[in-house]
Chain A
Amino acid sequence: MGHHHPHGHGHGHHSHDEASIEPSQVLDSEIPDSELAPADVSRRSLLRGAGLLGAGAAASVLGSATTPAPAAAAPDTSGVARKGGYLWLAGDHHIHTQYSPDGVYRVIDQVRHANAYGLDWMVITDHGTVQHAKIGVEKVNPDIRNARDEIRDTLVFQGLEWNIPGAEHGTVFVHPGKNEVGVLRQFENDYDGTVKNAKEGTPANEALAIAGLNFLADAVRRKQVEDAMFFANHPARQGIDSPHEIRGWRDAAPRIALGFEGAPGHQAAGLPKPLGPGSGRGSYNASPGTQSFPGYPLESYRTWGGFDWMTATVGGLWDSLLAEGKPWWITANSDCHSVYADTATRGPGSDFNNNGFYNDPVYGGAINTGNNDYWPGFYSRTNVGSSAATYAAVMAGLRAGRVWVDHGRLINGIDAQVRPSSGGPGVTLGGVLQVKRGTKVQLDVTVDLATTPNWAQFVAKLARVDVIQGDVTGSVKDRDTLTAPNTKVVKSYEVTAGKTSLRFTYDLGAVDGPVYLRLRGTDGNRSAAGYHGADVDPHGPGMDVVGDADPWIDLWFYTNPIWVLTQ
């Protein structure tokens, strides 16, 4: 476990106890006080004091039943160095196989490549289809279990690419166990937008999506599976994930609906013709359609520096959720269906409609330059701070938002801690630091720069890191809000040539109200003023050009936020 973790130095913190650090619980107004640990109730009262939680907000769709925390992590015996007290495990929650109608590869093909390219965890997510609901969800399971046995140091989850009723696709996955297939099969048969013919953006279909998330929450509550979670995939691609749907998912099932892809897969799709697909990076090349949310501008239909517009826009939709105090996390994945310049083709004589899978791939004899994807781990990474190298710990880390993402191995690792300037323990990604109003607070950051080559065989060079800060202003009345007017880039740090790390302290001064911070870094090759102007984001990512977007010369990393709440 944990190969490719060259960060050489731990920071001497003890691994945080999962049960005591659940900022999402603190921030989740929908979880009743009775479900929280006493310390969390106390944190929540801070939030109420800050005016972030309404008096009636504790009413919960979860009722009074308890949602168990993920099982205690097994002791970590790998001996891998920790950073900020955690193992940072690289993964990918969006991968297709021959059980998808647009797939090619075996499960083992994906797992072997992911393992070779350094992934510690991965999720097999074939498309929800009539065939998959009937055949594939069942048949893929032994392939996954065999892969778990054969490749011991990459965790392989079984999941599904859910056609969210009334919306885009999303990853749903569960903790391995005897019911993993049963729960996924029932979920797909009862709640998949394709299987249920429920793709249209109607109120009834939006309600079916919420019912699906509630089904998963219930499956965990009733211990049918140990854990389950959902991330929305390529959320802005077609403009059909409206802001109110995203808020609806999260608020209905805050322990299941955890975030969206900050960066979609298909990152090779923008490579220019004739040697590339010549499409939109991320396969983002759509225009508004009948199901699109009318408030989304044309800019939202393209990626920006490889990232989805909702995430890439400072003061945009993602920030509007964070400014509400809603835990909502970003990830970066491959969406691997068929790999750029690969030679494999589908097995001859395949009959997906009747068999539910394509025959094993064969050598095709030609290089396919029309393929849009990179192998899992080859380009995109979702790095999760985990207390141990276990399924439960990865899921706990994802739920806690202890996640940073990068492209092309732009950095080796990052340690970000917000702490009182007078000293004391820090709080890392996804966490909440609580202080008295007027307390001086600082953000300490150490970025380990890339020292080993990426999978294009060059050592990526970080040029700059931006600190993004926003006020936490509480719930919005308009559930379709997609801006956060008080969020902007507050400070940028250039990287000095020849160093192996970038260390800086960003001084927030005396904080007089709740805020959040997040980090972003770039190779500096391509930038433009942000969607909300240069005052908000002077040198953000540029909009990717359809047919002319080489992803290796436009690399970014993003972290999830850290909140500072004042009393």
Chain B
Amino acid sequence: MTVLGIDAGSTTVRAAEHLLQRVLGEVLGAAPERFACTHVVRGDHPHAALSVTVDAAELGLVEPVAPGAPGELREPGADGGLAALSNRLGIAELGLAWQHERYGPPSLAAGAAFTAGELAARSTGRAVVFPGVDALVGTLTVREVLARSAVDEIVVVGGPPATLDDAVDTRDFVRPEWRDGRLVLAVTPAGGGVLAPFEVPNPTACCADHA
């Protein structure tokens, strides 16, 4: 598996995740061992970008024969490569990075290279897709979450450490994060002795229309 970095300059994590669903739905499809993450790209214009594990064949890409080998970047309309991927997504401003290839405006291509590197090293990234994610629905025990998915560890925020038998109400929305090589799910007390992922599926908008 190699890692594809995708940076469309998304202003929110949610927008980046929406783009990820498009990438997976329209271009890449399902693969049981796939990881796909959102990342925050810092700098003067902080934004969200994506990383996805891919097989070279999925993209019509050719593994470089040697690091830095030229010739993999193809023009829009060609049969494969990053340009073709960009074309298929139809996004005007898109940065892509795969191995040593870069595509798109330099700042976005750099963001894509950053996210690809982060997932390749398993150092950061908020995982939207990971092995076993489809099994994390309803209420499960901590033991079940660890056994059924790639989640390596569960940490409790705002409460005592979890035991293997503690219940986790997944709310069908589980977004663990890479922390130094381990996929960690932050959970928090959710009332009634049940834990739930710290990240809620639909957080209140910053200027919510309550009425």
Contact = CB atoms under 8 A, between A and B. Distances in A.
A485 B211 CA distance: 43
Interface residues of B, number: 32
Contacts of A104: 211
Interface stretch (B22-30, B97-105, B115-123, B200-208): B200-208
Interface in B163-211: 186, 188-192, 196, 198-200, 203-204, 206-211
Contact of A338 (B42, B44, B203, B211): B211
Contacts of A543: 157-159, 188-189
B177 to A, nearest CB: 10
A283 B202 CA distance: 12
B46 A299 contact: no
Nearest to B208: A102
Nearest to B192: A548
A286 B190 contact: no
A290 B46 contact: yes
Contacts of A338: 210-211
Interface string A366-401: 001011110000000000000000000000000000
A290 B12 contact: yes
B114 to A, nearest CB: 14
B115 to A, nearest CB: 13
A294 interface: yes
A279 B45 CA distance: 31
Interface in B28-73: 40, 42, 44-48
Most chain A Cβ neighbours within 10 Å, of B46, B190, B204:
B204
A337 to B, nearest CB: 5
Judged by DSSP, the binding face of B is loop
Contact count band on A: 35 or more
A202 B42 contact: no
Contacts of B46: 200-201, 290-291
B84 interface: no
B53 to A, nearest CB: 23
Nearest to B15: A290
Interface string A196-207: 000011110000
B71 to A, nearest CB: 35
A102 B13 contact: no
Interface string B146-170: 0000000000011100000000000
20 contacts: A169-B206, A203-B44, A272-B191, A280-B204, A285-B203, A286-B203, A289-B12, A290-B46, A292-B40, A298-B157, A298-B186, A338-B211, A345-B211, A370-B210, A371-B211, A528-B158, A543-B189, A545-B158, A545-B191, A547-B190
Interface of B: 10-13, 40, 42, 44-48, 157-159, 186, 188-192, 196, 198-200, 203-204, 206-211
Given A102-B208, A237-B206, A546-B196, 20 more contacts: A168-B206, A200-B11, A202-B44, A280-B204, A283-B204, A285-B204, A287-B200, A287-B203, A289-B40, A290-B11, A290-B12, A290-B46, A290-B47, A294-B40, A338-B211, A345-B211, A371-B211, A542-B158, A545-B190, A548-B192
